[in-house]
Amino acid sequence: MEIKEKLRKLQEYLSRLDNALIAFSGGVDSTFLAKVSYDVLGNRVLAVTATSPMHPKSELKEAVELAKKIGLPHLVVEFNDILEIEEFKKNPLNRCYVCKSNLFSRFKAIAEEKGFKYILEGTNADDVSDFRPGRRALKELGILSPLLECGIKKEEIRILSKEMGLPTWSKPSYACLASRIPYGEEITYDKLSMVEKAEEDLRDLGFSGFRVRYHGDIARIELPKEQMKRIFEEGIREEVVKRIKDAGFKYVALDLEGYRTGSLNEPHVKVVKNV
């Protein structure tokens, strides 16, 4: 199916909905979904962004600015008590399920309160190839995933986003800060803050599309392979080390395999398929 046909299919899908509350992170997928939904449904949509210790302040700021740019009715809700949920704090293999089950239950309560019949989220057709326990929570709660149902892939979302003038078309993929902490390692505010500061500092130094994985005293940096040489340039290496140590780490390591999605799933690959 051609990309334009997929877009028409998405528009037709959305036109059949009375109204919709959209889980809006300000990322590539949710921004595209929110824009198309707004174009089709107008003010019968409400974009909702959750703020929590797992989401950098910079991401919230971008989401607010994007909503204004698109003209979206927008609501920011607090999800700060996620770290009080013991099942989540323990960081089990189904951590994402626990998180999404709690988060989207709150979105459902907001939708019911404000009279929205449907809740949409931005899973795309490529996401099903990775370990995504949160998908089960979405199915249990009856959350709709229009991009997935219409077969729209990540690269197609980027192409269409660029044509629509959305600044997110080239934005690197993002996952919450909890995904930087290995399964079984307790999630705490301090650990999330260390990762957030380290990643913000790397962005300030001009790096993009990377991850800083938490391993106790060690920060393991995953960079896109084309950016690895730059980290060894004169003055850059020293500044990277200084900033990441200032974030609270004692040691700084560069992962020679480079950035890849879900690298912390790798030690559990045989297990996670059954979770």
Residues 52 and 152 in one domain: yes
Residue 19, classed as helix, strand or coil, is coil
Residues 200 and 222 in one domain: yes
* CATH code (residue 157): 3.40.50.620
**pTM of the predicted model, to two decimals?**
0.90
Model pLDDT for residues 70-107, shown as the tens digit of each residue: 999 999 999 989 999 999 999 999 999 999 999 999 99
The pLDDT score that the predictor gives to residue 263 is: 64
The pLDDT score that the predictor gives to residue 270 is: 47
Given a cut of 70, the residues of the chain with pLDDT beneath it are 129-131, 262-275
The pLDDT score that the predictor gives to residue 266 is: 62
Residues 118 and 31 in one domain: yes
Examine residue 133 and state whether it is found in any structural domain, yes or no. Answer: yes
The pLDDT score that the predictor gives to residue 251 is: 98
Q: Cα separation of 212 and 181, whole Å?
A: 9
Among 116, 135, 164, identify where a domain stops: 164
Range of the domain at 48: 3-164
Q: Please pick, among 96, 99, 150, 176, the residue that the annotation labels catalytic.
A: 176
Q: Cα separation of 129 and 39, whole Å?
A: 30
* CATH code (residue 207): 3.30.300
- Residue 50 makes CB contacts below 8 A (sequence gap 6+) with 23, 76, 77, 78, 79, 103, 106
Please list, residue by residue across 8-37, b when 16 or more beta carbons sit within 10 angstroms of its beta carbon and e when fewer do: ebbeebbeebebbbbbbbbbbbbbbbbbbb
Is 96 labeled as catalytic in the residue annotation? Answer: no
